[in-house]
Amino acid sequence: MIRIENKGNKKVLTVDGKPFFLLAGEVHNSDSSSPAYMERIWETAVSMGMNTLLLPVSWEMTEPEKGRFDFSVPEKLIAQARERNMHIVFLWFGSWKNAECMYAPAWVKQDLRRFPRAQLVKGKSKTEIRIFPGLPFGMPYTTLSYLSGETARADAVAFAAFMKFLRNTDAKEQTVLAVQVENETGLLGAGREVSVEADEAFASPVPRDFLAYLKAHTGTMAEDIRAAVENAPDSGSWPEVFGSAAEEVFSAYHVSRFVETVASAGKAVYDLPLAVNCWLDKGGAPGTYPTGGPVSRVHEIWNFCAPSIDVYCPDIYVPQFKQVCDEYTRRGNPLFIPETATHSYCASRMLYTVGHYHAMCYSPFGFDDIGKPFSAEQGFFFGVDVTDPALKTRQDLSEYRSVGRMVQSMLPLLADAYGSGRLQALSAETDSVIPAPNQDSSPARPAFMNFGVFRVEISFPGSAGTGACLCLQVGDCECYIAGKGCGITFRSAKEELPNLDFLLVEEGTFSDGGWHPGRRLNGDETTLLKLDDPGILHIRFFLY
Ligand code: DGJ
């Protein structure tokens, strides 16, 4: 059984009752359309210590003609994963892919009457939009209308057929651990659709049960949405009820209901965890990001409208990594990162998401690009802050491999500590130093992890901003530290036993579930404990 369950204070993915972390990579959009092409990609993933790949499967290839289904490609992909003892999360590229409809079948794309397009200008199915402020030219844009029940139903039939195929092929082996429904849903270029039907729906009364739900869930809402909901009259049209937030709330309501139609049809056939990924808002106005998609400000709306979705996933290409992770976890949503950039924070972010967020999935996009130059286009399109050199620099491939293999080797132990205070992490990007209190002359303190009776202070000297480490406590005064680019200081946190002496410091590796010690480092090394290159230390001490 594959489930999302509560463990301690976190929600975790479990396979037959055991927590599992998807140490994953997402392939480029087209790679998984060809199992032959995928051979090389699988091998790269194995060499990086990954246990899962995120693979698109498109509506157009699975239902090339209405009612004729072909699952031969996903079937081969599942066989390839099994040969390597790996897992898959399939990404259902149905009505939406990056807020467009490029993967809908030809018979859907060509039938504009039955499957209408979203109108950003009344009467027009395709419009030029300007979403990149720096670009002097616009982008031709079209996508399927989120108001079309007919489109949602056709997508749902195909998705249910796909889930039935998964159930029949994989319910026993459980190679496929989750499915992402659609890809980066929402409407670009505007706050809402403006067809005649859309105008009518916008002027019609807001459903009472929906409004009542929002009014009962304002505690975690984004400020402006909360203000709109708190001030909302008990009935009225969308603009009457939600004021300036009306367009986004309206779009989120309809996009999430469309997704629910698809997701629930699939879940009824095969009950796997279902996810949706998100093109982030980056603080912009609706339409500069796909309006209605699961940006964190509309999660309460998605909660109400799309109960079949288990997890909302941020695609993180922005510099504010921690801020996004915090936003996506503060309502109890588990951290599942299906896409992130391959610049030099890639490896340290993996350690941090496992150790700090007890994440469900960490998956760089186009992971086989790791080690290749991180291009200026990536910087531009993904909103990378070019003032931070670490965001401009590529991730070193051998370092990523080492960190990946290291995390994979520790997974059973790490997963066991998920949801508890025994597993913590710090990274240079997120926690370099804690500022001195009151701006006085006392020096800034290094960031630390607090384990009750002891604490571990971490500094990141010379790590070019990409140092990180996690600490796994396995006894009162015993732990493993896995990290890179960090200096480590242990201190007693017990007033009555203020001194701490090491009993054991050794480097080593995990394999086959056991610890294999290398050098014992009880000498000079304990004076300045550090991990320059990726590595694991086993540490035991006592307090007196
Ligand atoms: C986000 C999308 O979800 C992916 O499919 C891909 O297009 C990446 N952006 C980057 O190219």
Going by the DSSP 8-state scheme, the letter that residue 243 receives in this structure is: G
| pLDDT given at position 490 | 97
208 contacts: CB under 8 Å, gap ≥ 6: 234, 235
- Residue 191 CA to ligand 1 centre (angstroms): 21
| pLDDT given at position 434 | 54
Helices (H), 341-487: 346-357, 376-381, 389-392, 397-417, 428-431
The larger pLDDT score, comparing residue 283 to residue 268, is at 268
| pLDDT given at position 512 | 87
Q: Give the pLDDT band (50/70/90) at residue 376.
A: low
| pLDDT given at position 156 | 98
CA distance 220 to 333: 12
Mutation test residue for ligand 1: of 98, 282, 312, 340, the one with most atoms within 8 Å of CB: 98
Per-state percent for the chain, helix, strand, coil, to nearest 5:
35, 30, 35
pLDDT tens digits along 104-157: 999 999 999 999 999 999 999 999 998 877 777 889 999 999 999 999 999 999
C-beta 96 within 6 A of ligand 1: no
pLDDT tens digits along 491-507: 999 999 999 999 999 99
Token code pair at residue 4: 């999302």
| pLDDT given at position 137 | 84
Q: Count of CB atoms within 10 A of residue 200's CB?
A: 10
CA distance 403 to 468: 10
Percent of the chain at pLDDT > 90 equals: 87
Average pLDDT over residues 202-207: 98
- Are the C-beta atoms of 488 and 469 separated by less than 8 Å? yes
Exposed (0-12), middle (13-18) or buried (19+): which is 113, by Cβ within 10 Å?
A: exposed
Mutation test residue for ligand 1: of 100, 182, 183, 342, the one with most atoms within 8 Å of CB: 183
Mutation test residue for ligand 1: of 365, 381, 384, the one with most atoms within 8 Å of CB: 365
Whose CA is closest to atom 8 on ligand 1? 365
Whose CA is closest to atom 2 on ligand 1? 98
- Residue 88 CA to ligand 1 centre (angstroms): 18
C-beta 32 within 6 A of ligand 1: no
CA distance 348 to 308: 33
Whose CA is closest to atom 9 on ligand 1? 98
Whose CA is closest to atom 6 on ligand 1? 29
Average pLDDT over residues 294-306: 97
Mutation test residue for ligand 1: of 339, 342, 343, 363, the one with most atoms within 8 Å of CB: 339
- Are the C-beta atoms of 215 and 225 separated by less than 8 Å? no
Using the predicted structure, report yes or no on whether residue 329 has a pLDDT greater than 60: yes
Ligand 1 atom with minimal separation from the 184 CA: 3
Q: Which residues lie across from 394 on neighbouring strands?
A: 343
* Mean residue pLDDT across the chain: 94
Query: Shortest CA distance to 129 belongs to which of 157, 103, 99, 104?
Result: 99
Using the predicted structure, report yes or no on whether residue 538 has a pLDDT greater than 60: yes
Q: Is 165 helix (H, G, I), strand (E, B) or coil?
A: helix
CA 120 centroid distance within chain: 29
- Residue 188 CA to ligand 1 centre (angstroms): 15
- Residue 298: left (phi > 0), alpha (psi -120 to 50), or beta? alpha
Average pLDDT over residues 309-323: 95
Whose CA is closest to atom 5 on ligand 1? 29
- Residue 183 CA to ligand 1 centre (angstroms): 9
- Residue 39 CA to ligand 1 centre (angstroms): 22
C-beta 145 within 6 A of ligand 1: no
Percent of the chain at pLDDT > 70 equals: 95
CA distance 484 to 536: 9
pLDDT tens digits along 227-267: 999 999 999 999 999 999 999 999 999 999 999 999 999 99
Whose CA is closest to atom 10 on ligand 1? 365
Mutation test residue for ligand 1: of 100, 184, 276, the one with most atoms within 8 Å of CB: 184
C-beta 340 within 6 A of ligand 1: no
Q: What are phi and psi of 65, to 5 degrees?
A: -125, 150
Using the predicted structure, report yes or no on whether residue 435 has a pLDDT greater than 70: no
Average pLDDT over residues 408-422: 96
What's the whole-model pTM score? 0.96
283 contacts: CB under 8 Å, gap ≥ 6: none
**For the chain, how many residues are written?**
544
- Residue 381 CA to ligand 1 centre (angstroms): 10
Q: Give the pLDDT band (50/70/90) at residue 442.
A: low
Q: What is the CA radius of gyration of the chain?
A: 25
Using the predicted structure, report yes or no on whether residue 443 has a pLDDT greater than 60: no
Using the predicted structure, report yes or no on whether residue 412 has a pLDDT greater than 70: yes
- Are the C-beta atoms of 128 and 140 separated by less than 8 Å? yes
- Are the C-beta atoms of 221 and 301 separated by less than 8 Å? no
C-beta 184 within 6 A of ligand 1: yes
362 contacts: CB under 8 Å, gap ≥ 6: 21, 22, 23, 24, 337, 340, 349, 350, 353, 354
Query: Shortest CA distance to 358 belongs to which of 15, 2, 17, 21?
Result: 21
Token code pair at residue 436: 């001195």
Ligand 1 atom with minimal separation from the 277 CA: 3
The larger pLDDT score, comparing residue 394 to residue 111, is at 111
C-beta 315 within 6 A of ligand 1: yes
Sign of the CA dihedral running 99, 102, 105, 111: positive
291-323 in b/e form (b: 16+ CB < 10 A) is bbbbbbbbbbbbbbbbebbbbbbbbbbbbebbe
- Are the C-beta atoms of 381 and 375 separated by less than 8 Å? no
| pLDDT given at position 213 | 98
